[in-house]
Amino acid sequence: MISPLAYVDPEAKVGKNVEIGPFVFIDKNVVIGDNNVIMPNVNIMYGSRIGNNNRIFPGAVIGAIPQDLKFKGEETTAEIGDNNSIRENVTINRGTAAKGKTVVGSNNLLMEGVHVAHDAKIGNGCIIGNSTKMAGEIVIDDFSIISANVLMHQFCHVGGYGMIQGGCRFSKDIPPFIIAGREPIAYSGINIVGLRRRGFSNELIENIHNTYRIIYNSGKNVTDALVQVREEIPMSPEIEYIISFIENSERGIIR
């Protein structure tokens, strides 16, 4: 299962039933789980940790040192979960002293040319479109869909179950369950189709919709809008998630 034209460092730990194609480079201090397919010309660098059942396509580079001048060679990792599809030329840098690790969860699709910078955290079940670039220490919550050629500023937080239109760029946080688009980027409604596909009830979707009507269309500042949400919208984990996300946003949310 390992091509004679691949290089696997003797100190690397490779699990069972792993297919390694020609011209793959696997560095020392690498741990790879079971049932992975690593296609030709993939580089898996020092500090990489890869789970099970992943497919890594040609040209991907995982665990290269951060593109951060503050990095001084500290021991950090790039950690990838299970059942991911990492397409051609994806780059996932390892962490810095800031967080210590870059994390990609499980069941994600990272399309061709995606860049995941140092200390980023991507959740589970996300789709990241071609050539999208994520700067350092961003966070993307579960079941997000980010279209092609999106540019994310460092430290931004993207809430779960939403969708971002292709070609957008942003430097503020994007709350959960919404569609974000246009130029400059703005709230463009809730992700009704995505929520229905994920099994959200009509009542819950309506509550989410009413929450965002208050936040974006009431004319109130965000603090007063959240007070109104608490008074008028039935509480559920999803509504509490919206409130908590906005209250804890360090960069502020898109408008």
- Single-letter code of the amino acid located at 179: I
Task: Read off φ and ψ for residue 208, nearest 5 degrees.
Answer: -65, -45
pLDDT 10s digits, 161-176: 999 999 999 999 999 9
Q: Is 194-247 a domain of CATH 1.20.1180.10?
A: yes
Please give the model's pTM, rounded to 2 decimal places: 0.96
Give the residue-averaged pLDDT of 1-21: 97
Using CB atoms within 10 Å of the CB of residue 75, give its burial: 0 to 12 exposed, 13 to 18 middle, 19+ buried: exposed
Cβ-count burial 40-65 (b if 16+ within 10 Å, e if not)? ebbbbbbbbbbbbbbbbbebbbbbbb
- Whether residue 68 contacts residue 96, with contact meaning beta carbons closer than 8 Å, is answered with yes
pLDDT 10s digits, 66-96: 999 999 999 999 999 999 999 999 999 999 9
Q: Of these residues, 95, 136, 160, 162, which one is catalytic? A: 136
Active-site residue, 153 included:
no
Q: Of these residues, 27, 68, 82, 119, which one is catalytic? A: 119
Q: Of these residues, 63, 95, 118, 194, which one is catalytic? A: 118
Task: Read off φ and ψ for residue 31, nearest 5 degrees.
Answer: -125, 125
Structural domain spans, the chain: 7-137, 194-247
Q: Give the pLDDT band of residue 145 (cuts 50, 70, 90).
A: very high
Active-site residue, 118 included:
yes
pLDDT of residue 199: 97
Active-site residue, 136 included:
yes
Q: Enter the CATH code of domain 7-137.
A: 2.160.10.10
**Whether the domain at 7-137 and the domain at 194-247 fall into the same CATH topology:** no
